[in-house]
A and B are shown apart, each in its own frame.
Chain A
Amino acid sequence: MNINATLIGQSITFFVFVWFCMKYIWPPIMNALHERKQQIADGLAAGERGRHELELATKRATSDMHDAKLKAGEIVAQAEKRATQVIEEAKQAARIEADRILVSAQASVDQEVVRAREALRSHVAELAVAGAERILRREVDAKVHADLLTAIQNEL
């Protein structure tokens, strides 16, 4: 256990090691550590930003949904109003059409009645004449009684 030149050797070794460590070991490791720290900080900030954006988006979505619901309600109400209106209009048109058809039917019926009456009238006259002819063939001259027959015919 003597103090000898090992002392100097050890000192030189020590200086070389410290120099090497300072030059080639400490800086790259510290740089990488700082870089990672920065990355983590950036990541956390990005996460925070993302959460904030999500919050905003959720809020916007809720308000959009609310608006859409309101609009949809409006549209439905409008549609319902329009539907009743259409139905009313259709009813109105149908009623008018029915009246028209009724009137025309009435007219044609009246016409038919008149026509039938005319026909009937002529038939009745003929029948009556025919009947009377048969009855009176022997005793009544058609020409003689023509005035009477015409009078009856007019009464019908």
Chain B
Amino acid sequence: MATETLTSSEYIRHHLQNLTWGRLPDGGFGIAQNAEQAHAMGFWAINLDTMFMSLLLGVVFLGLFRSVAGSMTAGIPGGVQNFVEWIVEFIDSSVRGSFSGRNPMVAPLALTIFVWIFLMNLMDLLPVDWVPHIAKALGVPFFRVVPSTDPNGTFGMSISVFLIVVFFSIKVKGLGGFLGELAFHPFGKIGLPANLFLEGVNLIAKPVSLALRLFGNMYAGEMIFILIALMFGGGYGLAAFGGALQWAWAVFHVLIITLQAFIFMTLTIVYMDMAHHVEDH
């Protein structure tokens, strides 16, 4: 394991370091060699590992589903088609259950969110050292495999969802209706400042809670995997115990990754429903 030459804290830090590309302190562009350099790059830097993994997983997801959609038959479905249909019907029934409006975008949005986040989270079940070791062999210093443990990844998705929700709110209720809901909602015209404050917090809490919930769960899960992986360097007994622990945590984590993908999807559907629901005053 990597602990042969590193201390535990270095090992953990290494695992939590994104492959960030941006302007280095010396003025050139390149990959940050440590957390301080990555921090110094400011906003205009990009985490190559997060982008690469999320693109790869997205392409895998879309490729699989597109190949099925292309050869889709109403007759007897084959194995892959059956699997894809199972997921699509699950999403469809979720959307039907929570979304009462009419919008052809909601179901594909929910499908994309669910499968994509599930695949991202699934990367957490790969043993923590595999991909970084492969990356190291290829000359890449850092590689975080799970895009949903990068807040950029989760906030990127939740802010996109938020923008879509706001867009449809304004489209359905009109700009006046949307602002009116913000300004006059809980207490009527008298309580306008309080309304703005409450509804504003309510509005902002949506993307923040979506992103932080997913990020927190996945980050904590990954952290535990890393801590368990530290045991592998501590002799045979501890390594065996660590192996058992890793297995147990992975089994439990299967539940978490599915649940997190499902929660993200369901909340998106609910927010979309709220955007389409005109409240009576």
Interface residues of A (CB under 8 A from B): 1-11, 13-15, 17-18, 20-22, 24-26, 28-33, 35-36, 39
Contacts and interface: CB of A to CB of B under 8 A. Distances in A.
B153 A2 contact: no
Overall SS of chain B's interface: helix
17 contacts: A2-B41, A4-B22, A4-B47, A5-B46, A9-B156, A10-B157, A11-B156, A11-B160, A14-B156, A17-B58, A21-B112, A26-B108, A29-B65, A29-B84, A30-B107, A33-B85, A39-B74
Given A29-B69, A30-B88, 11 more contacts: A2-B39, A2-B42, A4-B43, A5-B46, A6-B45, A10-B51, A11-B159, A13-B58, A29-B88, A33-B74, A36-B74
Contacts, number: 132
Interface string B227-247: 000000000000000000000
Contact of A28 (B39, B69, B163): B69
B69 A15 contact: no
B18 A10 contact: no
Nearest to A35: B74
Interface of B: 16, 18, 20, 22, 35, 38-39, 41-47, 50-51, 54-55, 58, 61-62, 65-66, 68-70, 72-75, 84-85, 88-89, 92, 104-105, 107-109, 111-112, 116, 147, 150-153, 155-157, 159-160, 163
A21 B111 contact: yes
B151 A18 contact: no
A6 B16 contact: no
